[in-house]
Structure 1
């Protein structure tokens, strides 16, 4: 997992979030308000919920982010995390400790690189199905 995670603020603009993503070479930022994880924003959220819906670069992160934050715990079994990613059709999950503090983000690629290739491939098969509850066009 990636441990050095930068956060976005819900009152930042889409342009500011996109700039931070570019600087980090990342496609996702957790969104934090008052030391609490309140959402996630992806480059795809900015494209689909922002640009495609005629919201300009000054649109607030809170208008574009996903507010349902799915996560895993840092002590969870990798197979359980992969199964959850497949079922929920998501490629990245914030990783929390048992005090619900963000400690990192894990991606499908991270898990594949740890020797869980077959499980990651199976998860990708589930993730790649079109639509699903977490489609960016549903908000």
Structure 2
């Protein structure tokens, strides 16, 4: 039984990563995806983004450079404070997030097809238990 659970978790993880890779041809990292997500509703300054993400300015700067090279973001001097930089999504960055959202919707639709309402509810309860544990452990490790 334990080996079946182990194999199922590993297979699920592999399949979800494979699904992500279908819409992530340039292999952006999870952190870079989080940066793009922060920028989706509106442009932002690096100082604000580093606080939101809980990372150093240096780490953010390295990831912003990669996203600029991929043409997912632009950076321009802030209109209110020329010492600051405003970071915004490019059309390519917006399209990338749109493609990811479409893939998320396809995954949701597939889950709705294979699971009854009751099974969906059971999955959510059980998955959220594991998600909460993993998140708490990760946050504790970071401190």
Q: TM-score range by the shorter chain?
A: under 0.3
Alignment TM-score, normalising by the size of structure 1: 0.27
Structure with greater helix share of residues: 2
Q: Which has the higher contact order (CA 8 A, sep 6+)?
A: 1
Structure of larger gyration radius: 2
